[in-house]
Structure 1
């Protein structure tokens, strides 16, 4: 349900953005709103609270965002409030960013590494992925010490596992298969 609502509202805003030629501007402004809601959990809780009236919620939004984001974005948030769908605002923003990226030929990817990539390594990996995919890849580095070494890249629903942990898991699986075959147990 959340995905459907997010898609519907995001698509409507995206169509408006195309008409007024503000796709990138809306994306940047929505990204700023997303960061505020993501970092300020208390603000999100207040915004979604059912005891707060629609007018009070609109006043809060006005006090924070009026003059800082396009009126079309404010209007979208007002509609979301009027329909009682505040809890879907993050889904709407995520879907709009996805639509915008798709239109601009941008793919977001995550590079999961044991230690942070320096800017040169990140740029090199980003350029390789962009070249391979034929799209502009925006790479976010996430540190996960379980990786041990190497890199695990997530692009949409695809995973490229060049991590040491992934290689060790493959070796372990193949050793188990060999052991099972050796003692006469079927692989099925």
Structure 2
């Protein structure tokens, strides 16, 4: 289990270095898309995460696997960065590094991340309404939406932007009514 403070301390400089490479080559958005893809790969495959985390697997084997995963069509700067992480024995921190990179990219683009939890999948029109509401609240240029489904909400949505939470769910309304009745 990785310590969160140590993970943040290790991932921050690498994420900033990746952003610097991306900015100097005008590839910030391309790297952002690749980072999202890699994060979903890592979070979706525990075997891949375990393989990269294992200190007993030879670095060359890890490099070969990464070359296969990203493919020949991948950006050479990003591929070299991944191989560099293997050389520096920091590949186990790939996911936090990529998440930190996305946070830095959002900051650079004046974009906020809105985590939307709903009882059922939202339509495109509903997601657009959520984005407009978040832009109105935060005055950000753009909104990146991360959605989750939680049937326990019964209906409505819970929107989290940074430390601010907007609970417009039926479960939240029932909880507030219960608290008022208890008083």
| TM-score, structure 2 normalization | 0.88
**Mind listing any 5+ residue stretches in structure 1 that lack a counterpart?**
179-188
Matched with 1:45 is 50
* More deviation, 17-26/79-88: 79-88
Cα deviation 1:85-117 (Å, max 9, x = unaligned): 222100000000111111112112122111221
Counterpart of 1:7 in structure 2 is 12
List aligned pairs for 1:34-73, cutoff 5 A. 34-73=39-78
Tell me how far apart the structure 2 counterparts of residues 25 and 38 of structure 1 sit (CA, whole Å).
Answer: 20
SS at structure 2 position matched to 1:151: strand
Gapped regions of structure 2 (runs ≥ 5): 1-5
Provide, for residues 165-186 of structure 1, a one-character-per-residue CA deviation record: whole Å limited to 9, x for no partner.
112222222333x3xxxxxxxx
Q: 2:165 aligns with which of 127, 142, 159?
A: 159
| Alignment length (residue pairs) | 177
Note the 1:68-147 alignment, pairs <5 A: 68-135=73-140, 136-147=142-153
Mapped partners of 1:141, 1:32: distance in 2: 16
Looking at structure 2, the residues matched to 175 and 162 of structure 1 have their Cα atoms a distance apart, in angstroms, of: 19
Q: Which runs of 4+ in 1 moved over 3 A?
A: none
- Indicate yes or no: 2:154 matched with 1:148: yes
SS in 1 for 2:122: coil
Describe how 1:174-185 pairs up with structure 2 within 5 A. 174-176=180-182, 178=183
Bigger Rg over Cα: 1
Partner secondary structure for residue 108 of structure 1: strand
- Report the more deviating stretch, 147-156 or 6-15: 147-156
